[in-house]
Structure 1
Amino acid sequence: MKIDVIISANHIDENKIKDKIVVVIDMFRATSVITAAINNGCKAVIPYLTIEETLEASKKFNKGEYLLGGERNAVRIENFDLSNSPLEYTRNMVNDKTVLMTTTNGTRALTKSLGAKRIFVAAMINGEAVAEKLININEDVVIVNAGTNGEFSMDDYICGGYIINSILKEKKSVQLTDIAKTSNMIYESNSNIISYVKHASHYALMKSINLDEDIDYCMKKSIIDVVPEYINGKIIPYNLD
Structure 2
Amino acid sequence: MKIDLIISADYIKDKIIEGKTVVVIDILRATSVIITALNNGCNEVIPVLTVEEAFELSKHSRKDYILGGEREALKIEGFDFSNSPLDYNKEVVEGKTVILTTSNGTRAIKGCSSAKSIYIGAMINAKYVAKRIIEEGRDVVFVNSGTKGQFSMDDFICAGYMINYILNESSAEVSDIAKTADYVYKNNKDIYSFVKDATHYDILKSLELNKDLEYCIKKDIIKIVPEYKDGLIK
TM-score, shorter chain, exceeding 0.5: yes
Residue matched to 1:204: 202
Structure 1 equivalent of residue 54 of structure 2 = 54
After superposition, residues 174-213 of structure 1 pair within 5 angstroms as 174-213=172-211
Summarize the alignment of residues 127-146 of structure 1 with structure 2, pairs less than 5 Å apart.
127-146=126-145
Within 5 Å, give how 1:64-213 maps onto structure 2.
64-171=63-170, 173-213=171-211
* Mapped partners of 2:2, 2:193: distance in 1: 28
Q: CA deviation at 1:166?
A: 1.2
Q: What is the SS of the residue equivalent to 1:147?
A: coil
- The Cα of 1:64 is off from its aligned counterpart by 1.8
Report the Cα offset of residue 199 of structure 1: 1.1
CA distance in 2, matches of 1:123, 1:216: 13
Cα shift at 1:158: 0.3
Structure 1 residue 35 and structure 2 residue 53: aligned? Answer: no
Given the two structures, how large is their TM-score scaled by the length of structure 2? 0.99
Task: State whether structure 2 residue 223 is matched by structure 1 residue 225.
Answer: yes
Superposed CA offset, 1:142-184 (max 9, x none): 000000000000000000001111111211x211100000001
Amino acid of the residue matched to residue 114 of structure 1?
A: S
What CA distance in whole angstroms lies between the structure 1 residues aligned with 2:26 and 2:45? 15
Instruction: Count the aligned residue pairs.
Output: 234
| Equivalent position SS for 1:167 | helix
Moved more, 176-185 or 62-71: 62-71
* Root mean square deviation of aligned Cα: 0.7
Alpha-carbon distance between aligned partners in 2 of 1:200 and 1:184, rounded to the nearest angstrom:
18
AA partner of residue 98 (structure 1): T
User: Which runs of 5 or more residues in structure 1 are unaligned?
Assistant: 237-241
**What TM-score, normalized by structure 1, do the two folds share?**
0.96
Q: 1:125: how far off?
A: 0.1
How many Å apart are 1:49 and its aligned residue? Answer: 0.5
**Using the alignment, how far apart are the partners of 1:82 and 1:136 within structure 2?**
35
CA–CA distance in structure 1, aligned partners of residues 40 and 134 of structure 2? 25
Deviations 1:1-26 (A, max 9, x none): 11100000000001101001000000
Partner of 1:20: 20
* CA distance in structure 1 between the aligned counterparts of 2:223 and 2:44, rounded to whole angstroms: 17
Return the offset for 1:59.
2.5
Cα distance in structure 1, aligned partners of 2:35 and 2:168? 23
Q: Deviations over 1:187-221 (max 9, x none)?
A: 11111111211111000001000010000000000
In the alignment, the residues of structure 2 paired with residue 63 and residue 23 of structure 1 have an alpha-carbon distance, to the nearest angstrom, of 31
Per the alignment, in what secondary structure is the counterpart of residue 224 of structure 1?
A: coil
